[in-house]
Amino acid sequence: MKKIIVLLALMVMTVGQAQDGRKEKRGERMKDVTPQEMATIQSKKLTLALDLSDQQEKDVYQVLFKQAEKRKANKIPREDREKLTDDQKKEARLKMLDEKIAVKRKMKNILNEEQYTKWEKMMKQRGKKRGKGDKNRRKRD
């Protein structure tokens, strides 16, 4: 009986250690990716998912590259984000939403109807996944 309890305790500790390692690496994975690399990865994924033509892939790359550059330029460290006033936060949020609208319009011009519908569906699923992560993170804190 003691052996079983000790064995279970070791297994629980091992699983706990493995989970902690994954959490630390999750944020570090894409930390040093350049805007070019990010745009290339995303455009290749979209090419596979939406069966894009060569010209569409180039156009999508350009849109994603500009978006990645803006995101990197506008990135604010967490400490500085906490110091922002409510008006500054609202302004930043509006700016981000304007950029999303612009990207959506550009994608609508590049993709055909079927591809655009599929792309929108992908973006909604992506948003749902991100939302779940935030909720889980708040519960843990």
Query: Rounded CA gap, 92 and 90, in Å?
Result: 5
Q: Tell whether pTM > 0.75.
A: no
Indicate the pLDDT class of residue 20, thresholds 50, 70 and 90: low
Q: pLDDT tens for residues 50-96?
A: 999 999 999 999 999 998 888 888 777 777 777 888 888 888 889 88
In a domain, 59, yes or no: yes
Mean pLDDT across 124-140: 65
Mean pLDDT across 119-135: 77
* Torsion on CA atoms 49, 54, 59, 61, rounded to nearest 10: 60
Give the number of other CB atoms < 10 A from CB of residue 53. Answer: 13
In a domain, 22, yes or no: no
In a domain, 79, yes or no: yes
Query: Rounded CA gap, 137 and 141, in Å?
Result: 6
pLDDT of residue 30: 63
* Torsion on CA atoms 91, 92, 94, 98, rounded to nearest 10: 130
Q: What is the extent of the structural domain holding 95?
A: 34-140
Structure tokens at 71: 């995101």
In a domain, 95, yes or no: yes
Q: How many domains does the chain have?
A: 1
Name the region of 33 (left: φ>0; alpha: ψ -120 to 50; beta: rest). Answer: beta
